[in-house]
Amino acid sequence: MASRVMCSIAFEHAESAKMLISAGNLTSATGLVRLQYEALVRAMWLRYAASDIAVSKLTSELTRETATRANNL
Task: Tell me the pLDDT tens digit for each residue of 12-42.
Answer: 999 999 999 999 999 999 999 999 999 999 9
Q: What is the pLDDT of residue 66?
A: 80
Task: Note the pLDDT of residue 7.
Answer: 96
Number of domains, the chain? 1
Q: Which domain holds residue 41?
A: 2-71
Which spans in 1-73 are helix H?
2-22, 26-48, 52-59, 64-71
| 20, HSE (Cβ side, Cα atoms, 13 Å) | 15
Give pLDDT tens digits for 34-73: 999 999 999 999 999 999 988 988 888 888 888 887 777 6
Looking at per-residue pLDDT, the higher value among 50 and 1 belongs to 50
